[in-house]
Structure 1
């Protein structure tokens, strides 16, 4: 509640994997939520629990374009910007649109937040660290990003969106929060989006060969979606001085091969593991330092990996995720270690 009324919240990208979970959490907390999505990567299926809820409204729109009047004229208390494809095969499919979504889209939403005095949260990414030389990654690390490589449309787009967000704060135009999100998994992952958990689970359930890029020794840190959403909400509601960017992720690091072995053990799959070349600019190691999140937000992930994977696998089995995958030839181009 704010001043005796329910908070008015805009979630851009609200039909996506993270966005749909965030919308559900906000409504459970008593907010009035408007979801803004262009459905390039989001899904109406993700919103089926909310579509008839009196506190939920859906507006189909691409934030690269000026915001529609019904959004621009509405007064919000909070604006969450989660609108951008987040997996390499999807954001590389239209790199120009990816970059414009991150930069132009962020500007449209920041101007909205400025106009109605809303607090703005940018869902940034661990990709701003590139293929890091510092390990684990702390928020003060400036990163090692190839600004002309195939991942740059996303990496540099998010870096520019962070710049724009903090400049709005420095100029007194908006109060902003920036979350740098590390690998997240859970129910509603799209089976063919090229992310490592969804690919491994889909291939294991289908009894297909599991594709590992490189030798499988590259590492990632996987955070369950409910934990990540808790971190986003806490960051948005953090009062006080500008905290700067905040890493949100699970600091428990494991190799891609260890993840594959765990999924095989849980599913009982007999899939074989095949190896392919590592994609260009693919990070070799990725692990967040979450000291800032612990200190400022009292936040750290609670869900053990095995428990989270079991819930994710159960969702894929129930929803028939394996049957919605692209043909295997297309998956050969997916960046499995993303």
Structure 2
């Protein structure tokens, strides 16, 4: 089988969650970080709209490797609207884009927590220099809007378990060894406002929580990815902590539909949490949901001593979704459905995205 029927069905459901989706028809959209976990799903939705609805969207997939893009979007061609554009978020080279562009979605960023400390300079440059180049491109090409994919980590730490609203900032130690990631995400958001003030560039910001789904990459070492791999292999899930940290989990296709909703309907210079209110749970509860769907068990192997400095320091990173839902977006995959669909897609094909 060359395609995952389950994933194609999920793409259809995700498309239905985007209000005014037809406003994207006949537009030209540049997506950076296009082979990553989140933005690859954005590209999949757009290409499905082309193939199934005749949307006529030109999707510029920006990345460092043409081969990675060809592998990830195998089965799609320029006839489907797919165009590869060489791009490195840490480079100062101009983006070789001869044509005009209507929208820019900047998702290129180091998403591997272990690398935040191993490559702190590159992590920060991708979030600042890379974003600045996208704004310069938007100016040169008269783009309608730039969407910046930030992070829930901009909120820092606070007491209690109440979900963070968009103006609910807590403490962030800027000298912490992994602070380069949340600090540069915060600065990137300020850069969005600055380009709007000085150059009149329209932008919006999204702050995803903890995203899971079948678009995980082999290099992903986050807890949700490790849980998924073990479950797929039929192995018991091993937690290295009690898993009490509260997180806003969101299925990757729900995240992608939310991004496209904000792109179309978000207020200029506004920030929007991406969170599914039906999937706010602890790490332990996520593990238990995946284990139940896969027919395995959850076991604990908690090492003595301090935990690794690479992990997210926020005990509570749950996010309020009221502002996003007020735009007309509705999540399609609660936690149970999300983990079930994720495992189904990954089991159906060794290359579930060869559509």
Shorter-chain TM-score category?
0.7 to 0.9
Distance in 1 between residues matched to 2:237 and 2:25, nearest whole Å = 51
CA contact (8 A) 2:174 2:183 kept: yes
Distance in 1 between residues matched to 2:301 and 2:282, nearest whole Å = 15
Question: TM-score by structure 2 length?
Answer: 0.81
Give the corresponding residue for 1:245. 271
Give the corresponding residue for 1:133. 159
Aligned with 1:108 (options 122, 127, 133) = 133
1:284 aligns with 2:315: yes
Distance in 2 between residues matched to 1:66 and 1:36, nearest whole Å = 15
Shift of the alpha carbon at 1:180?
A: 0.8
Which digits, 9 at most, give the CA deviation of each residue in 1:186-223, with x for residues without a partner?
Answer: 11212441222211121233355634243211111211
- Paired residues, number: 317
Which digits, 9 at most, give the CA deviation of each residue in 1:85-112, with x for residues without a partner?
Answer: 2231244431111100000000000111
Q: Secondary structure at the match of 1:17?
A: coil
Distance in 2 between residues matched to 1:147 and 1:103, nearest whole Å = 16
Q: Secondary structure at the match of 1:283?
A: coil
Give the corresponding residue for 1:7. 27
Structure 1 segments, 4+ long, off by >6 Å, are: 1-5
Which digits, 9 at most, give the CA deviation of each residue in 1:121-147, with x for residues without a partner?
Answer: 000110111233363101112232221
Give the corresponding residue for 2:334. 304
1:216 aligns with 2:243: yes
Name whichever of 192-201 and 264-273 sits farther off: 264-273
1:236 aligns with 2:267: no
Question: TM-score by structure 1 length?
Answer: 0.85
Distance in 2 between residues matched to 1:78 and 1:137, nearest whole Å = 28
Could you say if the C-alpha distance between residues 47 and 93 of structure 1 is closer, same or farther in structure 2, counting changes exceeding 3 Å?
A: farther
Which digits, 9 at most, give the CA deviation of each residue in 1:251-275, with x for residues without a partner?
Answer: 3421111221222211112563322
Distance in 1 between residues matched to 2:324 and 2:146, nearest whole Å = 18
Could you say if the C-alpha distance between residues 34 and 15 of structure 1 is closer, same or farther in structure 2, counting changes exceeding 3 Å?
A: same
Could you say if the C-alpha distance between residues 30 and 275 of structure 1 is closer, same or farther in structure 2, counting changes exceeding 3 Å?
A: farther
Segments of structure 1 that go 5 or more residues without pairing to the other structure are 322-338
Shift of the alpha carbon at 1:39?
A: 4.8
